[in-house]
Structure formats: C-alpha cells, structure tokens
Amino acid sequence: MRNKKSAPTMKDVALEAGVALGTVSKVINGLPVGEAYRIRVEEAIRKLDYHVNSYAQGLKASKTYTVALLIPNTYHPYFSRLAYQINLSLLKRNYRMLLCSTDYDPGLEQEYITMLQQNKVDGIIGLTYNPNLYIEESIAFVSIDRPLGPHIPCIASDNFAGGQMAAEKLADLGCKNVAFLRIGSSLNNEPNKRKAGFENGCLARNLPYTLKILQDGDSVYEFEDFLREHMHNGKLDFDGLFCVTDRTVYDVRKILKKMGVRVPEDVQLIGFDGIRSFGDGDYICSTIVQPVADIAEMCVELLLQENMNMKPPLVCLPVTYQYGGTTRE
Amino acid sequence: MRNKKSAPTMKDVALEAGVALGTVSKVINGLPVGEAYRIRVEEAIRKLDYHVNSYAQGLKASKTYTVALLIPNTYHPYFSRLAYQINLSLLKRNYRMLLCSTDYDPGLEQEYITMLQQNKVDGIIGLTYNPNLYIEESIAFVSIDRPLGPHIPCIASDNFAGGQMAAEKLADLGCKNVAFLRIGSSLNNEPNKRKAGFENGCLARNLPYTLKILQDGDSVYEFEDFLREHMHNGKLDFDGLFCVTDRTVYDVRKILKKMGVRVPEDVQLIGFDGIRSFGDGDYICSTIVQPVADIAEMCVELLLQENMNMKPPLVCLPVTYQYGGTTRE
C-alpha cells in the first residue's frame, strides 16, 4: 500500500521521546512519572500515531492492514457504489480490502468471520441478510443497514427521515392522494423505517395514503393488480407514489406505461437510493439519495477506531432529495 | 475459504502412492523408476491435484490464496459486473480477492505489483489504462482489454467480430447509411478493434459509412455538432449508428431526442458492452454483449494455471447481439 508503515511499537515511542521503555509503559498505564517525561511521551505517541490499545491488547496478533467487505454482489448499482466508496476509504488509510460477493450465502459470511477470528483480516464490514449470523462480542465487525446486536455498530441512512422527506415532498408538489409501494425482505432491517417515516410525514401533512407491501419472492406485477384496482374512469386514484427503492420506481414506471398513466403528469414518483446511470451520470428517477460516501467513511472510521470504549450501536446519516424526472421538480 | 485445503506437498504424494519420497522426486524429474511405481505416483499426483511446478519452483514462498483485482472503479456497470464475476470465479476455487479501485492512479497499480513481488498476493488481474506500467516477465499477471506485452496474457471480447456483427446487424435491419461514433482512450487497447471490425462489416455488405472519433476529454456534445451537420430537410442522413459503448448510446439518445430524431423509427442504434438496468435487469439498449462471466473465468484460469509453459498472449472471447429497444428487433 502507499506509504504503508508498520504500526509503531512502544519501543519506537521510547526512541522518539528519548526516554526508557519503562517510562513509556508507565505513562501508558497511568502510573506517575515526571511531568516533562509524560509530555515527551505523549508527544511521541501523537507524532507516531501510536495506538495505546494495540499495546494494551498485549498478545493480539500483528495487524494485516486488510479489511473484508461482505456484500451480496457488486453488480447492483447501490452495492457497486458502496464497494467503491468503502474501497476508497480503506485505501486512503493504507488498508487493503478483501471483497466477498456473498450472493446471500450465509456459509460464506460465516467463513469470513472465522478468518477474522484467525487474525487473517483486521475487521469486517458486512451488508448481510442472514438472520442467523452469529458474531461474538469482541469481534471487529461493522454492519450496514441491519442491526446485528448492541455490540455491533450498524451504519445506515436516516431511513425514517427519508420516508418522511418523500411524503413531504409529494405534499409540496401538490399531491392529494398517495401510496407507498414496497417489496423486499421482511427482516428487521433499517429500510423498514422508510414506511414508518412516510406514514408519519403523510399524517403530519394530512395527506391520505395507502400502503401496498409485497414480500421477497412476490412478483412485482402484483403492483400492477394493485394499481389497476385503483383506476377509476381511466384515471389513477393516486397522484403520488413513494417506492421503497429506485428499482421499484423503474418497475412501476413500466407498469404505468402499459396502463397509459403518464409520469410525472398524472402521477409523480419518488424512489430511494440515488441510483445514477453508469454510476456517476444522471439520477434515474426522483429519489431520496443515500449518502454512500458518508456511510463508507463512517463504517471504516468506526471499524478501525481503537480508542473507543463504546462504539455507537446505530448511526443514521442524513439523506437528501434529488430531482430525476419522475416528479414535477 | 470454503473447503480450503493447503496445497499438497511431494510428501503427500509419496504417502498417497505408498512409495518413498525419492521415488516421487524421480518421477517428477523424469528419471527412470519401475513402471508400477511410476503409475502409482502419477495417479497420486492426479488424485491430490499436486502441481509439479510448485515443486520445481523450489524456494517459492507459500501461497496466499489471494489474488488482487486492479480496476478503475466498481461503480461503472461494466466494471462492477466484471468485479462480481471475477470474485465468483476466485471464490469457486477457494481464492480470496483483494479489490483495488485504482481510479486510474498508476501509483496504486505499481504498489500492488510490488505486493505481488513480495509474495503478499499470488497474482494480479488488471484492467489498466496506464501506458507506462512495468511488469516483469516472471510475474503472475493477467490483463483485461489491453495487451501489456507478449508475456502477459490479455483477455478481451472479440472486439473485431463485435464491430463486424454490429455492421451486419444494421445491414440486416435495413440500414442504408450508417456511422460509427467513438469516444475514449487512444491507447492501443482492444476496443479499438471495434471500429476496424465495423468498417470491415460495412465494406462486406456495401453499406456506406462515416466515422466520428472523439478523444478522451472531448465533450460528448461534439457528437451533437456532427449529427446536426448531417441533418438535411429535417432528416438525419444516417439510419443506423454503431456506438463504441452503451454509455455512448445513452448520451447520443439524449442528443437525438433534443434534435427530434426518433429511436428506433428514424435511426437505429447499437452499443457495445451489454449493460443491464440494475446489473441483472433489462438491456439498456440494443448491444453487442461482452461475455463477462467467460472473461472472468478465463482470467482466473490462466492466472492460476501453473502447468503451462506458454500462456496465450491474447484470448478473444465470442460476443453476442442482444435486442434492447434501440433497434427494430
């Protein structure tokens, strides 16, 4: 890696400070030493970026400067952007990234956890849909989107705020009757909050709403039945739809086209994710954008942070609205 | 990794065959031994999948079962699909993949080559645009799309055949006057052959054609000037366009829409790559599809193959045409 240095040792600190090894040990362990010595040692620790905990951990195996990313795949544009940003955040800190496209295989996930236990990687960042994943408390693991327990930091977009933002945006855009369309895992994951936030926003703005929730494995064409049931006199009952992901917007647009309902003239659509053509081009629809670069930075920061006694169990990062052609603005 | 076994040693072969170590050594080195012994050793070698070369290399450091992938980024859909498929091909063989999004940074590329020289990875698969990359002859490196020298296998789609296929398809679809639109690196890379194949196909079918070649850094809107120059009486001179990538099709469609030219009614468009919505959905345009899974398999196969005295310097894999809405069929 670029400019990679091996982690500084207590000996390096002693050399840098010009003091005996025992003096460094005393400072680290909070034992009394002369004030001038303490200052010199502390300056050396800062200068060398020596991490006290790596000493305190004593027998911990040497670092690999490698972090594993477990992600279902890298071809879905949200996952591919996430993999890219996490890779950047790690490279910036002179860490390498092992990529494991799990294809939702729990076995693969568990294997990487074993690698971590064998000190073959320093930590894992995982986006997992495995409800039975067992992760020990002491393990360096950061989860994306799904809370895995109070000892595993979970990083997510502020999904509740995003749902609320979508409802308020549709209200601002003049919608009078809206619906929320959702398909996906029923696991207790963060995106579930999109619905709750949306309902909350609709209630706050006195906006009538309907929910249509499909499960994983259901056909997206059940949305077609739902929408056709809500056609009266050649007109859709809804003038606004909030879709749980941009992919759902994409599918629903195809259905609406077939039904002769125009977007955004007859009905305005807002998605969630912030998918862009070719990864960095136009937004493919009006959408609540997940802050992928911030999610990546936060994951890496929390994973590698050694001087923290308590890591935040859930971090929600702010989302934004972006126009992408499926709303009036 | 799943079912990972350490590589079998000569000792394992001797045990399996029930012969002395010296007998195995003789067989491996082609020295005379009794026929029955030779057969037993050869069977044990096959059964254990023992690789003779790993013995012959003698002092070679132990394997890491890790391969690095150097790729500009993972957010462009072609790169993200490639990263996914290469990851799958490696996992299948119980290899891990280090991902390095180079963002076209030659320094990062060179660093991973240094890692390889230090035996921190077993090999590198690289998609690089760095014209000055120096790779030693003995190094385990496989290149995608760009020939880096006769000793580095280069894996690519059959770009020439793809260009020719596009020309023939446009001819079959009734086009009478076509153009090739290209933007991108002028490096000597495989995609350059798309143009040559296209010209060849047009000549074979007596199809008049025009070329418009932009360089990296040129604005895609120079295509707009070009197309406007070829408008006469509100009609585009061309009824077929072959674009060097699907992304170019995307950009050109926006320009044509602005100009009031309909796709595919007035002009039919064929791209190159095979990009699909959300990675596994619809093709975003009619296109020559790169066989990404085959490219990935071939890269991994050639990189890890130890029993080959001469690796193929250039492998071209067959492409296919897929309809995606920008042609009549």
Q: Give buried/exposed letters for B30-69 (b at 16+ CB in 10 A, else e).
A: eeebeeebbebbeebbeebebbeebbeeeeeeeebbbbbb
Instruction: Please name the amino acid found at residue B303.
Output: L
The whole-angstrom separation of Cα A213 and Cα A199 is 13
> Is there a contact between A2 and B111 if contact means CB atoms under 8 Å apart?
yes
Residue B83 CB neighbour total at 10 angstroms: 30
- The residue of chain B nearest to residue A90, with distances taken between CA atoms, is B100
What is the reported pLDDT for A57? Answer: 40
In this structure, the strands spanning B209-215 and B178-184 are parallel
Residue A322 — very low, low, confident or very high, per pLDDT cuts 50/70/90?
very high
Give how far B197 is from chain A: nearest CA, Å.
26
Residues 66-95 of A with CB under 8 A from B: 66, 69, 73-77, 79-81, 83-84, 87-88, 91
The whole-angstrom separation of Cα A232 and Cα A88 is 51
What is the reported pLDDT for A306? Answer: 83
Average pLDDT over residues B112-118: 85
To the nearest 10 degrees (0 to 180), the angle between helices B222-229 and B246-259 is: 50
- Whether the CB of A46 is below 8 Å from some CB of chain B: the reply is no
Is the pLDDT higher at A114 or at B245?
B245
C-beta separation of B288 from B162 below 8 A = yes
Instruction: List the structure tokens of A116.
Output: 């971590």
Pinpoint the alpha helices (H) of B29-177. Answer: 35-48, 52-56, 77-92, 106-117, 159-172
Pinpoint the alpha helices (H) of chain A. Answer: 10-17, 21-28, 35-48, 52-56, 77-92, 106-117, 159-172, 192-204, 222-229, 246-259, 292-304
CA dihedral of A80, B111, A143, A294, whole degrees rounded to 10: -70
The whole-angstrom separation of Cα B191 and Cα B271 is 12
Q: Hey, which residues does A200 pair with through a beta bridge?
A: none
| Candidate from A29-38, A69-78, A104-113 with smallest mean pLDDT | A29-38
CA atoms within 13 A on the CB side of A29: 12
- Whether the CB of A118 is below 8 Å from some CB of chain B: the reply is no
Q: Which of A100, A247, A279 sits opposite B278 (nearest CB)?
A: A247
Rg (CA), chain B: 25
Chain A partners within 8 Å of B81 (Cβ): 74-75
Chain B partners within 8 Å of A277 (Cβ): 250
Give how far B218 is from chain A: nearest CA, Å.
17
Complex-level ipTM beyond the 0.85 threshold: no
What is the reported pLDDT for A56? Answer: 37
To the nearest 10 degrees (0 to 180), the angle between helices A21-28 and A10-17 is: 110
Which residue is it, tokens 């007998």? Answer: B23
Q: Which of A62, A74, A109, A283 to mutate to test the interface with B (most CBs of B within 10 A)?
A: A74
- In this predicted structure, the answer to whether residue B327 has a pLDDT above a threshold of 90 is yes
- In this predicted structure, the answer to whether residue B234 has a pLDDT above a threshold of 60 is yes
Residue B6 — very low, low, confident or very high, per pLDDT cuts 50/70/90?
low
> Is there a contact between A84 and B74 if contact means CB atoms under 8 Å apart?
yes
Average pLDDT over residues B233-239: 96
> Is there a contact between A98 and B103 if contact means CB atoms under 8 Å apart?
no
- Is residue A158 helix, strand or coil? coil
What does the pLDDT look like over B59-74, one tens digit per residue? 345 788 999 999 999 9
What does the pLDDT look like over B246-286, one tens digit per residue? 999 999 999 999 999 999 999 999 999 999 999 999 999 99
> Is there a contact between A281 and B75 if contact means CB atoms under 8 Å apart?
no
Q: How far is C-alpha B10 from the geometric centre of its chain's CA atoms? A: 35
- Whether the CB of A185 is below 8 Å from some CB of chain B: the reply is no
Chain B partners within 8 Å of A63 (Cβ): none
Q: Give buried/exposed letters for B86-109 (b at 16+ CB in 10 A, else e).
A: bbbbbbeeebbbbbbbbeebeebb
The whole-angstrom separation of Cα B27 and Cα A254 is 66
Share of chain B above pLDDT 90, in %: 61
Q: Which of B1, B75, B275 sits opposite A280 (nearest CB)?
A: B75
Is the pLDDT higher at A223 or at A4?
A223
**Nearest Cα residue to A177 out of A111, A237, A228, A250:** A237
Chain B partners within 8 Å of A122 (Cβ): none
- In this predicted structure, the answer to whether residue A85 has a pLDDT above a threshold of 60 is yes
Which residue is it, tokens 């619905």? Answer: A195
- In this predicted structure, the answer to whether residue A1 has a pLDDT above a threshold of 70 is no
Chain A partners within 8 Å of B84 (Cβ): 73-75, 101
> Is there a contact between B103 and A88 if contact means CB atoms under 8 Å apart?
yes
Residue B131 — very low, low, confident or very high, per pLDDT cuts 50/70/90?
confident
What does the pLDDT look like over B162-220, one tens digit per residue? 999 999 999 999 999 999 999 977 666 777 899 989 999 999 999 999 999 998 888 98
In this structure, the strands spanning A235-236 and A231-232 are antiparallel
Chain B partners within 8 Å of A98 (Cβ): 66, 96-99
Instruction: Identify the top-confidence range among A80-89, A212-221, B27-36, B177-186.
Output: A80-89
- In this predicted structure, the answer to whether residue B32 has a pLDDT above a threshold of 80 is no
What is the reported pLDDT for B23? Answer: 84
What is the reported pLDDT for B54? Answer: 38
Give how far B296 is from chain A: nearest CA, Å.
14
Task: List phi, psi (to 5°) of A154.
Answer: -115, 125
Residue A203 — very low, low, confident or very high, per pLDDT cuts 50/70/90?
very high
In this structure, the strands spanning A123-126 and A141-144 are parallel
What is the reported pLDDT for B186? Answer: 66
What is the reported pLDDT for A115? Answer: 84
Rg (CA), chain A: 25
Q: How far is C-alpha A15 from the geometric centre of its chain's CA atoms? A: 41
The whole-angstrom separation of Cα A117 and Cα A136 is 10
> Is there a contact between A101 and B91 if contact means CB atoms under 8 Å apart?
yes
What does the pLDDT look like over A233-292, one tens digit per residue? 999 999 999 999 999 999 999 999 999 999 999 999 999 999 999 999 999 999 999 999
Q: Give buried/exposed letters for B308-328 (b at 16+ CB in 10 A, else e).
A: eeeeeeebbbebebbebebbe
Is the pLDDT higher at B52 or at A76?
A76
| Candidate from A111-125, B1-15, B98-112 with smallest mean pLDDT | B1-15
What is the reported pLDDT for B46? Answer: 81
Residues 202-261 of A with CB under 8 A from B: 247, 250
What is the reported pLDDT for A130? Answer: 81
> Is there a contact between B111 and A1 if contact means CB atoms under 8 Å apart?
yes
Handedness of CA A265, A270, A274, A275 (dihedral sign): negative
Residue B22 CB contacts under 8 Å (≥ 6 apart), including other chains: none
- Whether the CB of B107 is below 8 Å from some CB of chain A: the reply is yes
What is the reported pLDDT for A186? Answer: 66
The whole-angstrom separation of Cα B216 and Cα A116 is 43
Give how far B103 is from chain A: nearest CA, Å.
9
> Is there a contact between B101 and A80 if contact means CB atoms under 8 Å apart?
no
Share of chain A above pLDDT 90, in %: 60
Is the pLDDT higher at B45 or at A209?
A209
What does the pLDDT look like over A25-73, one tens digit per residue? 777 766 678 888 888 888 888 888 776 543 334 344 578 899 999 999 9
> Is there a contact between A84 and B73 if contact means CB atoms under 8 Å apart?
yes
Average pLDDT over residues B142-169: 93
Residue A3 CB neighbour total at 10 angstroms: 6
* Mean of pLDDT over chain A: 89
SS3 content of chain B, % helix, strand, coil (to 5): 40, 20, 40
Chain A partners within 8 Å of B107 (Cβ): 2
Average pLDDT over residues A135-141: 83
- In this predicted structure, the answer to whether residue B51 has a pLDDT above a threshold of 70 is no
- Whether the CB of B36 is below 8 Å from some CB of chain A: the reply is no
Rounded (5°) CA angle A287-A290-A292: 140
Instruction: Identify the top-confidence range among A20-24, A156-160, A227-231, A314-318.
Output: A227-231
